[in-house]
Amino acid sequence: MKKTLFTIFTVFMFFIPFATSAAVQTTGNDPEKINLYRVEMKLTKDGTANVTERIVYDFGRNQKHGIFRNIPMLYKTRRGNPHQNIKVTSVVNENNVAYKTKISGFNTLTIQIGDEDVLVSGVKTYIINYQVKRVINSLTDKDQLLWNF
C-alpha cells in the first residue's frame, strides 16, 4: 500500500510543474509575485501592537487596480472569542504618498488598496500601518502574545 501511494505521489508531483507552466503560458498574463513581505511590531504596555507591513508586489506587465490585504479579526482562545480591535492608521508607498483605500469586514478586515479608475503594473510598494488592541493575553504566570495575522 505504501509503495502504491508513493508511486501515485511521485507521478502527481512530476506533472504539477508542467500543468502550472502550461496554465501560465496559456493565460497570456505575467505571473505576479510578492518580492518582499516584512512585518515590524512594537508592543505597548497596554497590550496594543503597532504594526507596519511592507509589501513589495510585482504585477509584471499585468495591469491591475492594486491589492487586497485580509487580516483575520476573530480568534478562539481560552477566554472565548475576543474581537480584535484593528485600526488602520495609514497605507502609503515608499515615498510616504497615501494610497486610496477601502476598508470593510467584520470577522476579517479587508483593506482594498488602489484606485478603481487607475491601472498599475510593475513593482509597487505598499506600507500598511495599523494598531491591534488586546493582543496580549495576561496569564497568572506569564503574558502571552496572540498573533496569527
Decide which of 76 and 19 is more confident.
76
Q: What angle do CA 57, 43, 98 make, to 5 degrees?
A: 35
Contact 49, 131 (CB under 8 A): yes
pLDDT for the residue 106: 79
Under the banding of pLDDT at 50, 70 and 90, the label for residue 79 is low
Full-model pTM:
0.73
Under the banding of pLDDT at 50, 70 and 90, the label for residue 16 is very low
Under the banding of pLDDT at 50, 70 and 90, the label for residue 149 is low
